């Protein structure tokens, strides 16, 4: 069978397309005319010219139906199956009486009446139209869903971008301070944040925080926590006071029962004194200029947002020339590789020990690369956030 | 992560095992809420098989201990692995939730 003939046939008797629709309409009109003429012929006492007209009409109809039958046969992938299918038989029945009538005139009337069965051909059209319509509706619905998902994705991306955009991109310019920070967001929306706050007494507030959970609720709570801390920091120049106030406020603005771990410290660039309080956050590291590492693990309090009235003990540490403070979130230490192993504090400490004497931004870059190399192909499940502050007092050589 | 339940007198012992991360938190929470709804005399969460707790997992412990307090149900957590214990200590949760070394010690804290 020539494939192009089959393609043309399929185009005419297929379920969709302009040619198929035109051809269907032609067949539909002929079915109606033919059934109507069968009834007319059987009931009325017609004049001779009308009978002649109906006879010619019948020849035309049978010719077209025969042509249609052949097309369907050609287009059918399995010929035998088509011939014996319901519609195949109906199609055959609608033309067979005409050809059979010539063989034996005694069956003429019965066979002619059988043409009424052509009405069954209508059913194919109804069924095919229904299937086509349902398919189209499903496709439209699917398009709507894909579009909605795309829009949601785009809106989440905007929210994520906004969330990152509100974080300060540079450390405040202070003599003797080399500060840098970086957040690498996880694929899902997380709730890490850091902040640098210029306080009225020339000191600088540093925030490192991690909101529990993920997604839009975490992002919202992050924005609320960050705004409150920034506002309160300017009025409460003691870290423990600032955290206690922030906690009480967050407890009242927390319908989803989220919480946030916050390490908050205030650094005085004029004398190197660092005051800090910890609300349930991973204790930061202090790398001394000669390479030793201290953990700022003075007793902390509960995460913020969980329990009103929580207190946060205040601690103080003296930074010396070329010391470095490293604040981080657990996205660093709990970065997992494909074997399910965590990066861990040991590797982080080793990295800080070995490479902590360069620029702040360089150390951050170094740690991020180390974490990425360790995680390999494993997906990043949590935000990775780091802040490094190095101090070079102006008066020292 | 999967969770096993057993009853000992009026006390329900819940034994989660595996990783309590963001994905596991919601099912674990509803499991514990079902337990609390039956108002047992006490609830012991035996964490011997718990490998990892994320902040979303900690939130479940917070909500459960809060809910239990409201209903007057005693809650004790026990048998924490060192890594998990550290998460409870750093976050300050060990200050607000009673933690015991092992199951026997936890059961001893339960109302008779």
Interface confidence, given as ipTM, is: 0.90
Chains A, B: CB contacts within 8 A come to 54
Which one of B59, B92, B96 has the shortest CB-CB distance to A212? B59
Query: Is the predicted pLDDT of residue B82 greater than 80, yes or no?
Result: yes
User: How many CA within 13 A on the CB side of residue B40?
Assistant: 22
Range in A12-26, A196-210, A324-338 with the lowest mean pLDDT: A12-26
Percent pLDDT > 90 in chain A is 49
Q: CB under 8 Å to B94, separation ≥6 — which residues?
A: B85, B88
Query: Is the predicted pLDDT of residue A186 greater than 80, yes or no?
Result: yes
- The pLDDT of residue A217 is 87
| Chain B neighbors of A302, CB-CB under 8 A | 91-93, 95-96
- The pLDDT of residue A113 is 65
Smallest CA-to-CA distance from A169 within A370, A361, A371 is with A361
Identify the sign of the CA torsion A12, A13, A17, A23: positive
Over residues A231-240, the pLDDT tens digits come to 999 999 999 9
Q: Which residue has the higher pLDDT, A96 or A141?
A: A141
Query: Is the predicted pLDDT of residue A3 greater than 70, yes or no?
Result: no
Over residues A141-174, the pLDDT tens digits come to 999 999 999 998 888 888 888 888 889 988 998 8
Query: Is the predicted pLDDT of residue A107 greater than 70, yes or no?
Result: no
- Residue ranges of domains in chain B, CATH in brackets: 2-108 (3.30.750.24)
**What spatial distance separates the first Cα and last Cα of chain A, rounded to whole Å?**
94
Shortest Cα–Cα distance, A162 to chain B (Å): 23
Mean pLDDT of the A99-115 span: 61
> pLDDT band at residue A214, thresholds of 50, 70 and 90?
confident
Which one of B22, B56, B62 has the shortest CB-CB distance to A306? B62
B interface residues, A as partner, C-beta within 8 Å: 21-22, 25, 54-56, 58-59, 62-63, 90-93, 95-96
- The pLDDT of residue A375 is 95
Question: What is the average pLDDT value for chain A, to the nearest integer?
Answer: 87
Cα(A37)–Cα(B70) distance, integer angstroms = 84
Q: CB under 8 Å to A317, separation ≥6 — which residues?
A: A273, A274, A276, A286, A294, A296
């Amino acid at each position: 069978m020539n494939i192009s003939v089959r393609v043309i046939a399929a185009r005419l008797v297929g379920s969709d397309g302009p040619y198929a629709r035109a051809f269907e309409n032609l067949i539909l009109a002929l079915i109606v005319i033919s059934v109507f003429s069968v009834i007319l012929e059987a009931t009325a006492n017609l004049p001779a010219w009308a009978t002649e007209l109906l006879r010619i009409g019948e020849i035309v109809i049978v010719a077209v139906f025969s042509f249609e039958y052949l097309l369907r046969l050609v287009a059918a992938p399995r010929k035998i199956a088509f011939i014996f299918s319901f519609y195949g038989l109906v199609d055959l029945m609608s033309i067979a009486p005409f050809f059979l009538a010539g063989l034996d005139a005694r069956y003429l009337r019965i066979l002619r009446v059988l043409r009424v069965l052509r009405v069954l051909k209508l059913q194919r059209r109804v069924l095919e139209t229904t299937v086509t319509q349902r398919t189209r509706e499903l496709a439209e619905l699917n398009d709507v869903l894909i579009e909605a998902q795309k829009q949601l994705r785009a809106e989440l991306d905007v929210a994520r971008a906004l969330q990152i955009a509100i974080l300060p991109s540079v450390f405040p310019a202070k003599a003797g301070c080399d500060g840098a920070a970086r957040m690498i967001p996880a694929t899902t929306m997380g709730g890490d944040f850091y902040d640098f706050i210029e306080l009225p007494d020339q000191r600088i507030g540093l925030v490192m925080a991690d909101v529990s959970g993920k997604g839009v609720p975490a992002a919202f709570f992050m924005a609320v926590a960050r705004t409150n801390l920034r506002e309160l920091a300017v009025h409460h120049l003691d870290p423990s006071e600032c955290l206690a106030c922030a906690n009480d406020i967050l407890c009242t603005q927390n319908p989803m029962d989220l919480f946030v771990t916050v390490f908050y410290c205030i650094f005085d660039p004029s004398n190197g004194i660092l005051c800090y309080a910890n609300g349930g956050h991973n204790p930061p590291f202090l790398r001394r200029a000669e390479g030793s590492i201290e953990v700022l693990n003075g007793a902390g309090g509960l995460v913020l947002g969980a329990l009103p009235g929580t207190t946060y003990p205040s601690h103080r540490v003296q930074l010396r020339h070329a010391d470095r403070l490293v604040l981080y979130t657990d996205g660093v230490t709990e970065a997992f590789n494909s074997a399910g192993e965590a990066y861990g504090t040991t590797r982080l400490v080793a990295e800080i020990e070995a490479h902590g004497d360069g620029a702040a931004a360089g150390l951050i870059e170094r740690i991020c690369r180390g974490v990425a190399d360790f995680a390999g192909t494993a997906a990043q499940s949590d935000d990775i956030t780091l802040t490094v502050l190095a101090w070079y007092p102006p008066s020292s050589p | 992560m999967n969770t096993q339940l057993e009853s000992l007198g009026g006390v329900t012992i819940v034994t989660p095992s595996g990783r309590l991360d963001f994905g596991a938190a919601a099912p674990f929470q509803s499991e514990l809420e079902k337990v609390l709804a039956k108002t047992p005399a006490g609830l012991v969460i035996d964490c011997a098989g718990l490998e990892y707790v994320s902040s979303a997992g900690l939130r479940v412990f917070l909500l459960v201990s809060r809910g239990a307090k409201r209903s007057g149900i005693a809650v004790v957590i026990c048998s924490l692995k060192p890594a998990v214990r550290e998460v409870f200590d750093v976050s300050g949760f060990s200050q607000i939730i009673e933690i015991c070394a092992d199951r026997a010690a936890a059961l001893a804290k339960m109302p008779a």
